[in-house]
Amino acid sequence: MRHLKSFLAWAEDRELPVNRKYRKFKAPDEYRGVDALTQAGRLRLAAVDFRTEAARTYMRQQFEALDPALQALAPAKKGMRKSQADPLRVAERLRMLEWARDKLLQC
């Protein structure tokens, strides 16, 4: 990161377009471990199938655990669905998770 900041400062000195927010960023002095997925981790993530019954069941169970707290908020929030564990809501969330996973793998 220090090399990147040095380069950006060099570019700024030569009046090249640089976002000045880089000045506020501070890199940690100590290495804190890997910040990227391994190839094996990426392959495991890519292999997750969000369209299976097991995935739907898992997601529904997670929302059912949250439902009591969400039900208490339902009257206060206009247009909030009564149940987050509704099959349509679960399918919508699974599609969003699949899309997010694919974008992560692309990056």
Please indicate, yes or no, if residue 86 is contained in any of the structural domains: yes
pTM score over 0.85: no
What is the pLDDT, as a whole number, of residue 21? 80
| Per-residue pLDDT at 19 | 82
- Which domain does 68 fall in, by range? 2-25+50-106
pLDDT given at position 23 = 77
Q: Looking at the domain assignment, is residue 45 inside a domain?
A: no
Q: How many domains does the chain have?
A: 1
> Are 4 and 28 contacting, i.e. CB atoms less than 8 angstroms apart?
no
Q: Which carries the bigger pLDDT value, residue 42 or residue 37? A: 42
Cα 98 from Cα 89, distance rounded (Å): 14
Task: Give domain status of residue 36, yes or no.
Answer: no
Q: What is the pLDDT of residues 4-38, one digit of tens each?
A: 788 888 888 888 888 878 777 776 777 777 677 88
Contact of 11 with 18, CB cutoff 8 Å: yes
71 or 46: which leads in pLDDT: 46
